[in-house]
Structure 1
Amino acid sequence: MKLLRNAAIAIALSSSVLAGCQGPGEVLHQGYVVDQETLALAPVGSSREQVLLSLGSPSATATFDNEVFYYISQKRTRPVAFMKPKVVEQSVLAVYFDKDGVVERLAHYTLKDGRVFDLISRVTPTGGVELTFLGQLLRGSGGAPGAAIQNIFGGGGPK
């Protein structure tokens, strides 16, 4: 009887702990959220300075000639504080300028329109192969892959 009661208490306790983990977790908002009133202050035909005054500085600009301003916002969630957040909503307002610096058109993009912007990554992608510690050890200080192993076991070396 005592074993049955302890098992029932353990099951109730573990289910309540697991139910607590399944809650909404943490919701993170990042970036510039554009409302319709502010957007109305920078209509098509307005100048670059007017856009900067009404919307503020953009999250990103186009690579060439600063012809596009991007105002990016994201909503990310994570169930527990130590887990990696997952992007659930993304909004990108793109303000396109002509060669004279006048707003040519406004566009609004969401996650359905393309890829996710990585706003907080501090990693520069590079070409090539990244070796692990063990891979570097097996590769040796240069030469052919596995040269270090051959040197250790007496199978390699210049003759």
Structure 2
Amino acid sequence: MRKGWIAGKSIAALGVAFMLSACAATYQNHGFAPSELDLAEITVGVDTRDTLAETIGEPTISGVVGDDSWFYVGSRWRHFAFRAPEVIDRQVVAVSFAEDGVITNIERFGLENGRVVTLNRRVTETNIANVNLITQIINSVGNVSADQLVGN
């Protein structure tokens, strides 16, 4: 009788542990936004589109407005139990180029309380003409459902 009681208690403890682990939040990263350490290897006004591709890699988005900008977009999502996934961090690194391919601006934008915030900016000239585009990118990346992709 005592062995059955211990076995039942062990199974119950395992069941409780399993249920509690199912309630833990999980996190997923989507896309890629280079870190400040990666960007420190790039010199504004010296490096080009080619050296950027070699150092950091190809961008998430390019050619949206023209060939003068590359956008690296990274998001972190939190999944918890039965709740809808929530974006807890989204960053866009915008790199602008002159006509000869030399980097003129590197800017990092984030999402804070639903608003686009400039987190970091290294520029040779003030050029934030694409802020509306960056706002659209930050607000829309990752907000596409499977139904929208399939066309239903």
Q: Which amino acid aligns with 2:75?
A: Q
Tell me, in whole angstroms, the C-alpha distance in 1 between the residues paired with 2:44 and 2:24. 40
Q: Is the 8 A contact 2:33 2:92 kept in 1?
A: no
Q: Which residue is 1:60 aligned to?
A: 61
Deviations 1:38-67 (A, max 9, x none): 212222121110111111010001423321
Q: Which residue is 1:107 aligned to?
A: 107
**TM-score after normalising by structure 1:** 0.57
In structure 2, stretches of 5+ residues that fail to align are: 1-15, 117-134
Tell me, in whole angstroms, the C-alpha distance in 1 between the residues paired with 2:65 and 2:36. 28
Q: Which residue is 1:117 aligned to?
A: 140
Tell me, in whole angstroms, the C-alpha distance in 2 between the residues paired with 1:62 and 1:109. 18
Tell me, in whole angstroms, the C-alpha distance in 1 between the residues paired with 2:63 and 2:140. 14
**TM-score after normalising by structure 2:** 0.60
Among the aligned pairs, what percent are the same residue? 18
Q: Give the secondary-structure state (helix, strand or coil) at the position aligned to 2:67.
A: coil
Higher RCO, 1 vs 2 (CA within 8 Å, ≥6 residues apart):
2
Deviation for aligned residue 1:37: 2.5
CA-atom RMSD in angstroms: 3.0
Q: How does 1:1-159 map to 2 (within 5 A)?
A: 20=20, 23-45=23-45, 46-80=47-81, 83-112=83-112, 113=116, 114=135, 115-119=138-142, 121=144, 123=148
The number of residues matched between the two structures is 110
Tell me, in whole angstroms, the C-alpha distance in 1 between the residues paired with 2:140 and 2:43. 25
- CA 1:31–1:99 in structure 2 vs 1: closer, same or farther (change >3 Å)? same
- Which has the larger Rg? 1
Q: Is the 8 A contact 1:94 1:108 kept in 2?
A: yes
Tell me, in whole angstroms, the C-alpha distance in 2 between the residues paired with 1:47 and 1:90. 26
Deviation for aligned residue 1:84: 3.1
Deviations 1:57-90 (A, max 9, x none): 100014233211111111111112x653111111
Q: Is the 8 A contact 2:28 2:78 kept in 1?
A: yes
Tell me, in whole angstroms, the C-alpha distance in 1 between the residues paired with 2:75 and 2:92. 9
> Is the strand fraction higher in 1 or 2?
2
